[in-house]
Chains A and B, each alone.
Chain A
């Protein structure tokens, strides 16, 4: 090949077959060298989770949603935590799985709101508020031990769980493969290392305080959470009833 031709097509002197042979041998060598250290597909699959339907959050988290077999904590300082849980419950129940919700003593979930958010109410079990933390734990244990619920939500209100109680819940969720989501409205919250995911709902943002294998704190804009409320308002339905 002339110098001119080589300048025009620098790679042309290497035949395709030669390249193929080289890459195959190199691959074989690499396989032989690193083979014992390679991980199987199952080992590199991220741990399973239940999507929340909030794309930015799901994309950021390793579990692509609320982690299964773990306990998550949502700190609702200025609202949004229930909506996020409801979104996830809608996806879970629509898939034919079961979800359970344990109320706090002062407020309750509105069935019409749940219906608007596409929650299959026939797959959502509602439990009235417990009289003490001890009873809350017992109810959670009973709910999990049925091996029926994929997602369990519990509104603690102003209450907080102790470290050993969280650990117990974590053990149970791991045993029964269920995603446990606790919601608290308390001001000073115990950020226990036993929570796999901690989200803090602030005025404008949601801060991811703790998430496995992710750089935290990470801030997300909260406005997406209320996006589904706006169409309802925009429809301009004003009912004058009587």
Chain B
């Protein structure tokens, strides 16, 4: 078995192991900050052990900048090597020889997946051999297993077995079951936005790394900020238009939301929760850019939506009334024009005419008023109508509440080319748009 041992240089939550799931499914985390990864079958996918170690280190260093690693045959061998020669690799089946020249104090790190019961116990063993004048690991291998067992019992046997490469430690597959939640209690409550943002960024980074390891996307991120006084709570919901795990996007969304919060009551506790969903796997062409235009747009739409703005693509719709003849979509679909349908059965055929198909060709103003504006008599008199007869008559739902609109073109006193209609029910002219 080939094991990569990573040392994060600080204690972390066991869920930190999820960051490295992309390197192998067999991962074990042991406090303080040691991650053991079985890379026997996955190293070749990354172009070799060296490349895999570099990739794993760069992942680890995004959150733990001083992280180091080493690869060897066994978990304890990798851990010992990590402390002796960080970022090095012992070739397969050379572990015993390579480590035999290492100082005896390295026995402290011959732990692997399970830590020594007591560091003091190992210290006594090391002291004993020093008294005998032995100071290299290779020198104590000459003793029999019985000598170790009689003097130090179970620990002695374990050390002997590890010195001879007999002990087996198997790394089991890691099943991510922990909820995607991060919690932080701040000893010094924060009332300044940059500090709060910095703290939240770290938490987000950790959660997104976990999502990446799990192969999941975030549909929503809920941030709860507990204030110091009056049990006040701010709840922020970050929801992109499409699920994703782009760190930059979520930070932007968060930054935007945070600016709306009053931080007079300092924040003492923070909780960040991610609601995940499976990621969509897409085979990209090698010649396509990694971030497509659509992805960029999707990020932008999420950002604008978060700020209370609506955005998307204008999609024409087959409706009679102009104000209803469009919709806003995030995914544009090509409009299929209405056409008459013909059904042929035997020697007979049936034509189903598409009513209002001609509407798609009818002239429409470039700008439509959001709500038609009623014109008073003076305003109507000042308009210069281009025709005495209406250009177009639109009637919608005549069986229900037909208004009967007669549309005209006219020039306003300012010279604007306007579109207006006469409502037959109300006997009233309305301004509806501009050929601007």
Contact = CB atoms under 8 A, between A and B. Distances in A.
Q: Do A and B come from one complex?
A: yes
Interface of A: 76-83, 86, 98, 105-117, 121-122, 124-128, 130-131, 135, 138-139, 142-143, 146, 148, 202-204, 226, 229, 232-233, 235, 237-242
A110 B364 contact: yes
B334 interface: yes
A128 B409 contact: no
Those 4 A-B pairs whose CB atoms lie nearest each other, nearest first: A203-B415, A78-B415, A232-B363, A128-B310
A50 to B, nearest CB: 18
Given A115-B360, A121-B313, 17 more contacts: A77-B414, A79-B416, A80-B436, A82-B436, A112-B325, A113-B366, A116-B364, A124-B313, A125-B300, A127-B309, A135-B309, A142-B304, A146-B300, A202-B415, A229-B363, A233-B363, A238-B393
Contacts of B417: 79, 226, 229
A148 B297 contact: yes
B395 interface: yes
B140 interface: no
B322 interface: yes
A233 B391 CA distance: 8
A126 B300 contact: no
B123 interface: no
B312 interface: yes
Interface of B: 293, 296-297, 300, 303-304, 307-316, 320, 322, 325-326, 328, 332, 334-335, 355-356, 358-370, 390-396, 398, 402, 409, 412, 414-417, 433-436
Given A79-B435, A142-B300, A241-B355, A148 B293 contact: yes
Given A237-B358, A239-B393, A107 B368 contact: yes
B309 A130 contact: yes
Q: Which residue, A108, A111, A116, A126, has most C-beta atoms of chain B within 10 A?
A: A111
A93 B335 CA distance: 16
* Majority secondary structure of chain A interface residues (helix, strand, loop or mixed): mixed
Contact of B402 (A81, A125, A204, A242): A242
Given A124-B314, A241-B355, A112 B370 contact: no
Contact of B414 (A203, A226, A239): A203
Contacts of A131: 308
Contact of B436 (A79, A148, A232): A79
A146 B314 CA distance: 20
Contact of A239 (B308, B316, B362): B362
Contacts of A126: 311-314, 328
A116 B364 CA distance: 9
B392 A115 contact: no
Contact of A121 (B314, B393, B434): B314
B369 A107 contact: yes
A81 B313 contact: no
B313 A107 contact: no
A238 B391 contact: yes
Nearest to A129: B309
B311 A226 contact: no
**By CB atoms of chain B within 10 A, which of A86, A98, A121, A146 has the most?**
A121
Contacts of B316: 111-112, 115, 121
B230 to A, nearest CB: 29
A117 B355 CA distance: 24
Contact of A86 (B293, B300, B361, B366): B366
B358 A239 contact: yes
A139 B328 contact: no
B293 A237 contact: no
A139 B394 contact: no
Interface centre among B309, B393, B394, B412 (most CB of A within 10 A): B309
Contact of B393 (A108, A124, A232, A240): A240
A112 B360 contact: yes
A231 to B, nearest CB: 9
Contact of A226 (B307, B364, B435): B435
17 contacts: A106-B369, A108-B368, A110-B322, A112-B326, A113-B366, A114-B314, A115-B316, A121-B313, A124-B313, A127-B311, A229-B417, A232-B361, A233-B409, A238-B391, A238-B392, A239-B362, A241-B355
Given A125-B297, A126-B311, A142-B304, A110 B366 contact: yes
Nearest to B334: A122
A128 B436 contact: no
Contacts of B409: 233
B313 to A, nearest CB: 6
Given A107-B370, A109-B366, A135-B307, A146 B296 contact: yes
Nearest to B256: A138
A180 to B, nearest CB: 16
Nearest to A185: B436
Given A139-B304, A241-B395, A109 B367 contact: yes
A145 B307 CA distance: 17
A131 B387 CA distance: 39
Max count, chain A CB within 10 A of own CB: residue among B300, B307, B412 = B300
Contacts of B310: 127-128
A131 B308 CA distance: 9
A135 B308 CA distance: 10
Contacts of B332: 121-122
Given A109-B314, A131-B308, A139-B304, A241 B366 contact: no
Contacts of A86: 366
A81 B436 contact: yes
Contacts of B436: 76, 79-83
B366 A239 contact: no
Contact of A113 (B307, B365, B369, B416): B365
Nearest to A231: B363
B424 to A, nearest CB: 13
Nearest to A135: B307
Contacts of B308: 131
Nearest to B373: A106
Contacts of B300: 125, 142-143, 146
B75 to A, nearest CB: 47
